[in-house]
Amino acid sequence: MKKVLFSGIIGAVIAVSCSSSANQAQYSRAELLKLKGSWEITSVDYEKEYKIKPFDEGADAQCFVGSQWNLIPNNNTGSYSLAGGGDCPTVTRAIKFDVNSEKQFSFKKIDAGVKAKTVSSGYVLDFQNQTPTTFTLVQNVPFEGKILKVYYNFTKK
C-alpha cells in the first residue's frame, strides 16, 4: 500500500513572508517580471511509491497536472485553478508569491476577505530552469528522515 504524504501537514508548511525586506532580497526584478502571465503545470514528477498531496488541497499531486497558474509579478499576486474530474477536486485559490535571491519561490494561499499580511504560513519551493516559456518548482518534502523531491514543471500558455 502506498504511503500517504500530506506535504502541507508533514512539515512542508513553512512560515513565509511574501514581501521583500532588507534581510531577504528579491530575485532580480527583470527575471521576476518574466513570470507574468498564464502558466500550466504539464507534469509532476516524484518517487511514485508515495502518494503526495501538495499544498493542503487534499488532492493527489497528479491532480495538479493541467492546473492553471496566473502570476502577476508587479504586485506579487496570482491564482491557481485545478479543473477537477475523477478523484480531483475543482479548486481556485488566490495566492501571494515572491522569488527571493536564493531562487526560492514562496507563496501563501489567500482566502476571500483575508488580507495577505495576516497569513503567516505558506510554501517554499526551489525555483529552477527558468526560460521564457518554462520553469520548474521543486518542493522538498521531509519524510521518515529523508527528503522527497517533487518537481512541478510549468509551461507558459
CA dihedral 105, 12, 38, 98 (to 10 degrees): -30
pLDDT of residue 3: 52
- What is the chain's pLDDT, residue by residue, as a tens digit (157 residues)? 445 544 443 334 433 444 444 334 556 778 889 999 999 999 999 987 888 899 999 999 999 999 999 999 999 999 999 999 999 999 999 999 999 989 999 999 999 999 999 999 999 999 999 999 999 999 999 888 999 999 999 999 9
pLDDT computed for residue 17 by the predictor: 41
- What residues does 125 pair with on adjacent strands? 105
Cα–Cα dist 82/91, whole Å: 5
Cell of 103: 531562487
Domain span at residue 152?
A: 3-156
Would you state the pLDDT for residue 27? 63
Domain count, the chain: 1
The residue type found at 48 is K
Q: What is the CATH number of the domain that holds 43?
A: 2.40.128
User: DSSP states of 89-121 as a string?
Assistant: EEEEEEEEEEEBTT-EEEEEEE-TT--GGG--E
Residues in Cβ contact with 69 at an 8 Å cutoff, skipping those fewer than 6 apart? 38, 39, 40, 41, 78, 79, 80, 154
- According to the model, what pLDDT value does residue 32 have? 86
Residues 6+ apart with CB under 8 A from 118: none
What grid cell was written down for 35? Answer: 513570470
What pLDDT, on the 0 to 100 scale, is given for residue 15? 37
pTM, to two decimals: 0.82
pLDDT at 30: 83
What is the predicted pLDDT for the residue at 11? 36
